[in-house]
Amino acid sequence: MDGEPLRVGLLGGGTVGSQVARLILEHGDDLAARIGRPLELVGIVVRNLDRPRPGLPASLLTTDAEGLVTREGIDIAIELIGGIDPAQDLILKAMSHGASVVTANKALLAAKGDELFGAAQHAGVDLYYEAAVAGAIPIVRPLSESLVGDEIQVVMGIVNGTTNYILDKMTAEGMDYQTALVQAQDLGYAEADPTADVEGHDAAAKAALLASLAFHTRVRGDQVHREGITGVAPQDIRAARGLGCVVKLLAVAKLLDDGQISVRVHPAMVPNTHPLASVKGAYNAIFVEAAAAGRLMFLGPGAGGAPTASAVVGDLVTVARNRSRGVVGPVQPMYNDHEVAPMGLVTTRYFVRLRVQDEPGVLAGVAGVFARHHISVQDVQQTPAGGKAGDASAELYLLTHEAKEADLLECVADLQASPQVQAAVRFMRVEGM
């Protein structure tokens, strides 16, 4: 292959970094042919030099991250350390020293996207991040290029494999949340500290990136309404089944009628007929609805060392091609300023579950509360819930038509205050029906 090699510095040699190094080292000839110039991996930054790292040449390992990104002649820095510090600082230093950057760091991009993309533009370098949303699934280019001529209305995805695995277990095997979590941990699908996944932080960062791309508006992770799956009960899963639905943790970004956008992560019931319902285990999928294109879905492995490395090396080739031609890729102008709507203004359908005294007039009373809050009920099911003789209670399951969340919350509060309601009133949003 002609031409000077492009010099690549790799920050991080962990789950993803080690696979990126492997792909670069094993497929050098192919990558060079695709780029038009060879790549040279000049260093791999880790914290601990003593850890055995099969497949990674010891001569490339270093703990001097700053030295690597500011080294003379680095063309491309790949950031796979994760977190805000020192990743942000290293990326900014690499860019100010003239290197283009590839990263998979959704947490950082969702927190500091404005600064980072601004710095890349200022430095005249690329900042690519296909791996940051849904691992191996191509979604950044589809949204920022293939669909950029269209008006995207909804992006709705299963973007966290850990929680999808847990909910799948709860659905298929009737496990409770805690049992399914422990099993996911035993199998390596969930971390020892599962907070980032099960509380929805990871999905919220991805939702922010998806919403930014879809609506040409910068959305930060902390603007995303976020609920995790720790409160999902076996009863919710069973109730979903009764409705012909499954419970999924969804990342939702929707353009509302008033020009605001709704960006949120929460468990939701999804009808079995919806393409997202059949996404199993650690797979991810992103469903997109656009005015002209219609309904699209992208499915694939959302995490894991090799799949994520595939997306990183795809970016690496793209950035290297740009660099060898002396250009940078297009910038996504964030020209809209859609506001993120407060949850109270969001409309969706709801499933409401409550336990009431099983006596004449209760159903009418409950229906009256919904009516008072202008929430139209599509379907009610009543099942005896057992209880002592003379103290029988019933479970009521209600499915509403579209309603405003603020109205729903007031309705729930009113129901809760009613003397006939015996336990906590629970609700779950229903999407894709």
Ligand X SMILES: NC(=O)c1ccc[n+]([C@@H]2O[C@H](COP(=O)([O-])OP(=O)(O)OC[C@H]3O[C@@H](n4cnc5c(N)ncnc54)[C@H](OP(=O)(O)O)[C@@H]3O)[C@@H](O)[C@H]2O)c1
> What residues line the site for a second copy (CB under 8 A)?
19, 23, 27, 30-31, 33-34, 36, 130, 136-138, 140-142, 145-151, 216, 275, 278, 290-301, 304, 306-307, 309-318, 321-322, 325, 327, 330, 333, 335-336
Query: How many residues make contact with ligand X (CB under 6 A)?
Result: 24
Write the DSSP symbol of residue 271: E
Neighbouring residues of 59: CB distance < 8 A, sequence distance ≥ 6:
none
Task: Find the farthest-apart pair of alpha carbons in the chain and give their distance in angstroms, rounded.
Answer: 88
Distance CA 318, CA 276 (A): 30
Q: Are strands 403-404 and 347-357 parallel, antiparallel or unpaired?
A: antiparallel
Residue 16 lies near ligand X (rule: CB under 6 A): yes
CB of 11 to ligand X, least distance (A): 7
Phi, psi of 156 (to 5 degrees): -140, 125
Q: Are strands 6-11 and 39-45 parallel, antiparallel or unpaired?
A: parallel
Task: Using the minimum distance from each CB to ligand X, give the nearer residue, 168 or 236.
Answer: 168
CB of 352 to ligand X, least distance (A): 36
Task: Using the minimum distance from each CB to a second copy, give the nearer residue, 63 or 146.
Answer: 146
Candidate segments 210-218, 226-234, 245-253, 303-311, binder of ligand X by CB under 6 A: 303-311
In angstroms, the first-to-last Cα distance of the chain is: 54
- What are the residue numbers of the active site? 206
For residue 250, give Cα distances in angstroms to 72, 157, 223, 230, 303: 44, 6, 16, 14, 16
Candidate segments 7-15, 175-183, 287-295, 314-322, binder of ligand X by CB under 6 A: 7-15
Q: In one letter, which amino acid is 394?
A: A
Contact at 8 Å (CB) between 28 and 57?
no
Determine if the peptide bond prior to 333 is cis (ω within 30°): no
**Residues forming a β-bridge with 369:** none
Residue 404 touches which member of a second copy, ligand X, none, C-beta under 5-8 Å by kind: none
Task: Using the minimum distance from each CB to ligand X, give the nearer residue, 15 or 230.
Answer: 15
**Residues forming a β-bridge with 265:** 226, 251
Residue 216 touches which member of a second copy, ligand X, none, C-beta under 5-8 Å by kind: a second copy
Residue 86 lies near ligand X (rule: CB under 6 A): yes
Residue 409 touches which member of a second copy, ligand X, none, C-beta under 5-8 Å by kind: none
Residue 375 touches which member of ligand X, a second copy, none, C-beta under 5-8 Å by kind: none
Residue 308 lies near ligand X (rule: CB under 6 A): yes
CB of 51 to ligand X, least distance (A): 6
CB of 121 to a second copy, least distance (A): 12
Distance CA 336, CA 240 (A): 37
Task: Using the minimum distance from each CB to ligand X, give the nearer residue, 48 or 59.
Answer: 48
Contact at 8 Å (CB) between 428 and 269?
yes
| Options 31, 39, 131, 239; binder of ligand X; rule CB under 6 A | 131
Q: Closest by alpha carbon to 167, among 229, 240, 242?
A: 229
Task: Using the minimum distance from each CB to a second copy, give the nearer residue, 105 or 308.
Answer: 308
Q: Which residues bind ligand X (CB under 6 A)?
A: 12-17, 45-48, 51, 65, 80-82, 86, 104-106, 131, 135, 303-304, 308
